[in-house]
């Protein structure tokens, strides 16, 4: 079993990123390696070029993301953690696959239709072809499994179609590429702003009080939780009672995601209590769970040498796996 997954580098990481994305990677790493499999995790910095981006922020966001991943439990000894640009074989294989991918297939991608909107003429070519780069990202390593959320299912289908057509057209009876199967990840928590129960917790929210950052110290976390917006009612005794109470539902959801309990189990304990009792308990739970992550994150993100070493070693390991596939692809194409 070989799992390949990429994440876009972003800075200012927060509790939403942790519970909604990073923690699932850590769990997958632990599950897959326990079964003798291997995970390759990469920072998808080439994919950042499909949308407008700030060059000066890309490198620092990448380092920040690596620091967060390692602080949260991605183990660079057990998983191969690397930067896409440090393995140029991704871009190289994409070009080879461009000969196999069909315009009609890419035209049907709903992400393309959604992101380009009415401005197709003004969209970058990268926005159109990045699903081919995604295919290269996984086919390069003969991935057997790729975790995909709903919005990415179609792109994995495309990767399979490309692999199958390439094998048929050029494989001379051999499988140049493995067809990867999807893994549907466990449903990720969706964390809302602490100031507005209808908005996602996000780094782009101008109010720092709206989110718990992975860099926040214990006192800041306690203050933010205590000041989180709520309604005046006591907590209900089950999840159904949270309907129509988005702020309360968010805080209970965060508690449950963090403690690993169901929301009903949390409410069985706190039902009937006011937020004066629940918020300090939630704050303490967050502080206790995030303190080790926070300490490691802050230490690592300023240790550029350590981060660069992690990425260098990851890229070396990734290249060893990539080279044989790329050589096979070139040979099959007669190049």
Regarding 134 and contact with ligand ADP (CB under 6 A), the answer is no
Regarding 66 and contact with ligand ADP (CB under 6 A), the answer is no
Nearer of residues 17 and 325 to ligand ADP, judged by Cβ: 17
Known active-site residue 200: yes
Of 3, 4, 21, 212, which one interacts with ligand ADP (CB under 6 A)? 21
The residues pairing with 138 across neighbouring beta strands, listed in sequence order, are: none
Stretch that binds ligand ADP, among 27-35, 160-168, 195-203, 321-329 (CB under 6 A): 195-203
Q: How many residues does the chain have?
A: 335
CA 183, 76, 313: angle at the middle one, nearest 5? 115
In whole angstroms, the minimum distance from the beta carbon of 334 to ligand ADP comes to: 40
In whole angstroms, the minimum distance from the beta carbon of 305 to ligand ADP comes to: 26
Known active-site residue 203: yes
Regarding 202 and contact with ligand ADP (CB under 6 A), the answer is yes
Stretch that binds ligand ADP, among 29-37, 167-175, 183-191, 214-222 (CB under 6 A): 183-191
Q: If we measure between CA atoms, which residue out of 283, 286, 263 comes closest to residue 275?
A: 283
Q: d(Cα 134, Cα 153) in Å, to the nearest integer?
A: 12
Of 5, 17, 79, 134, which one interacts with ligand ADP (CB under 6 A)? 17
Nearer of residues 69 and 332 to ligand ADP, judged by Cβ: 69
Of 4, 6, 16, 147, which one interacts with ligand ADP (CB under 6 A)? 16
Characterize the bridge pairing of strands 145-147 and 38-43.
unpaired
Q: Residue 268: how many CB atoms within 10 A of its CB?
A: 12
Nearer of residues 21 and 256 to ligand ADP, judged by Cβ: 21
CA distances from 254 to 12, 87, 203, 212, 291 (A): 19, 37, 17, 11, 16
Contact residues for 128 (Cβ-Cβ < 8 A; gap 6+): 106, 112, 116
**Three-state secondary structure string covering 136-183:** HHHHCCCCCEEECCHHHHHHHHHHHHHHHHHHHHHCCCCCCCCCCEEE
Nearer of residues 189 and 248 to ligand ADP, judged by Cβ: 189
Q: Residue 184: how many CB atoms within 10 A of its CB?
A: 10
Nearer of residues 19 and 96 to ligand ADP, judged by Cβ: 19
Catalytic residue among 118, 153, 200, 279: 200
Catalytic residue among 165, 203, 279, 328: 203
Catalytic sites, residue numbers: 115, 200, 203
Binding site, annotated residues for L-tryptophan: 137
Residues that bind ligand ADP (CB under 6 A): 10, 16-17, 20-21, 188-191, 200-204
């Amino acid at each position: 079993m070989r799992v390949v997954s990429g994440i876009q580098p972003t800075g200012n990481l927060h509790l939403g990123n942790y519970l909604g994305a990073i923690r699932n990677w850590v769990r997958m790493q632990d599950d897959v390696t326990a079964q003798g499999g291997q995970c390759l995790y990469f920072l998808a910095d080439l994919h950042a070029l499909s949308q407008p981006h700030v060059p000066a922020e890309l490198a620092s966001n990448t380092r920040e993301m690596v620091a967060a991943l390692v602080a949260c439990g991605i183990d660079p000894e057990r998983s191969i953690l690397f930067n896409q640009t440090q393995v140029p074989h991704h871009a190289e294989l994409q070009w080879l696959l461009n000969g196999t991918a069909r315009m009609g297939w890419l035209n049907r991608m709903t992400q393309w239709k959604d992101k380009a909107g009415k401005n197709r003429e003004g969209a970058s070519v990268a926005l159109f072809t990045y699903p081919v780069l995604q295919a290269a990202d996984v086919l390069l390593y003969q991935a057997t499994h790729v975790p995909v959320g709903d919005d990415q299912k179609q792109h994995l289908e495309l990767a399979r179609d490309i692999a199958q057509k390439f094998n048929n057209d050029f494989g001379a009876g051999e499988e140049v590429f493995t067809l990867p199967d999807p893994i549907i990840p466990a449903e990720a928590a969706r964390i809302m702003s602490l100031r507005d129960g209808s908005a996602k917790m996000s780094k782009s929210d101008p109010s720092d009080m709206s989110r718990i950052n992975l860099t926040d110290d214990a006192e800041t976390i306690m203050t933010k939780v205590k000041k989180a917006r709520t309604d005046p009612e006591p907590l209900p005794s089950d999840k159904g009672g949270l309907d129509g109470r988005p702020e309360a539902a968010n805080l209970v959801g965060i508690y449950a995601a963090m403690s690993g309990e169901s929301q009903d189990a949390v409410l069985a304990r706190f039902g009937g209590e006011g937020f004066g009792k629940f918020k300090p308990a939630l704050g303490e739970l967050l502080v206790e769970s995030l303190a080790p992550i926070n300490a490691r994150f802050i230490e690592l993100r300023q240790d550029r040498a350590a981060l660069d070493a992690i990425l260098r070693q990851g890229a070396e390991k990734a290249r060893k796996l990539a080279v044989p596939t790329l050589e096979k692809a070139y040979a099959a194409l007669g190049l």
